[in-house]
Structure 1
């Protein structure tokens, strides 16, 4: 097992959160590709998500995940992104493929220290003390196409 450090950034006017979180990767290798890095991180996150308990006492059958799920939660005034209302477990393979496709499509950027990582095939060292930073990119206007 290798431990890496990931910067978690949540920007906002009221409560900006900046934290460096250790993440355990299921590998003994010192050098891996970005492709493998994403697979390991998504695996860790999916396992963590799938272990979270479902908020049974808070489940309202009218608000179970459907097309109108989010608007109903917003109307009720209860939107809690740390609670899990969906009883379905996350699909590891699908999540890994989605993360790699999102990276290739430029939906988020990865930095190792100050250097941006731009290719899934790029080899990175897990022995350096530098932190990884993931930044979700948001399009401000127009369309992506």
Structure 2
């Protein structure tokens, strides 16, 4: 089943959210199941990208123009070539949700419990909102 996710960090100037497609293969009954599947896919993609870095990196005119448009020119190399632990990532996402460091919204509905049963349909959009701690004094 194809789903979409989008991310938003409070305070960032970007108003338009970009949707990223992902697929789920195992049955998803709760928000916890969904988060664990999404984290598993993202960690696998991250670790595969670390292995797929070409030995000779060069910029074509098209890549250079695209990079100038985004405001950052780089060769796409990763500074950290370590492989990430899947188990650590899973425990981190569950702990972060329990600590209310991010919110999850399915289409227009706020999901506030890891154990709430989910009804998922094709092309549903899940929005992850990263909350930012405030610095300073209140009084």
- What residue ranges of structure 1 are gaps of 5+ in the alignment? 59-77
Q: Which has the higher contact order (CA 8 A, sep 6+)?
A: 2
Which of 26, 41, 44 is 1:44 aligned to?
A: 41
How does the TM-score come out when normalised to structure 1?
A: 0.68
Partners of 1:109 and 1:34 lie apart in 2 by 11
Could you tell me which residue of structure 1 aligns to residue 127 of structure 2?
Answer: 133
Structure number with higher strand proportion: 1
Partners of 2:78 and 2:115 lie apart in 1 by 34
Partners of 1:140 and 1:83 lie apart in 2 by 33
Could you tell me which residue of structure 2 aligns to residue 88 of structure 1?
Answer: 82
Which of 85, 102, 113 is 2:107 aligned to?
A: 113
How many residues are paired up?
A: 119
Is 1:21 matched up with 2:15?
no
Cα gap change, 1:122/1:85 in structure 2, threshold over 3 Å: closer, same or farther?
same
Tell me if the contact between 2:3 and 2:23 (Cα under 8 Å) persists in the aligned partners.
yes
Partners of 1:23 and 1:97 lie apart in 2 by 21
How does the TM-score come out when normalised to structure 2?
A: 0.71
Within 5 Å, give how 1:1-16 maps onto structure 2: 2-9=1-8, 12-13=12-13, 16=15
Tell me if the contact between 1:102 and 1:108 (Cα under 8 Å) persists in the aligned partners.
yes
- What residue ranges of structure 2 are gaps of 5+ in the alignment? 58-71
Shift of 1:113: 1.3
